[in-house]
A and B are shown apart, each in its own frame.
Chain A
């Protein structure tokens, strides 16, 4: 597609439920990133996929968070047993060659998650 597409755009869920957030990167982009932004905070790195390499999961805040990517296409971020502190906008981004010098990442519009 023309840009990074995320769904759902908004999600309200009850505490303790699981949620899945989806990201369709820009076609041909080998690298995919998940970030989140909680209220009043900056962009917090969660996980990074680059081609067939093992993903960099160093930013995942707990074992309730996991992400998968099918080849070089769609990615799903799953949050199990959601907590109120998980409320945030979850941003997906993609780039053509990973984080090499001069490469730019392009963000989707985000999935706004509210845990009540």
Chain B
């Protein structure tokens, strides 16, 4: 069975940072890109960026440039997304999702983590 399992919910203060993990199992971790998306309460989906699991190369949405860092540890098949300078409007469920690579350079997401709720509140 293929799975992406994310870390648990976090409550953080404004200005702080949060690091969410995403552990892959059941497939070759380094064979796929992993993307990070988020969904604010009652809202739609927003793409944040992605990481090429083999090389660690990243691409970030301009909106998050300078605040987001995506990394991975291939030895434990885990990807990480760290977001700094948190604000109340960063409160959202954060998802990792795998691109199956059906069409290189044109991602879709066939496998998702369960989501990690990050709440930013003082």
Say whether A associates with B. no
Which B residues form the contact surface with A (CB < 8 A)? Answer: none
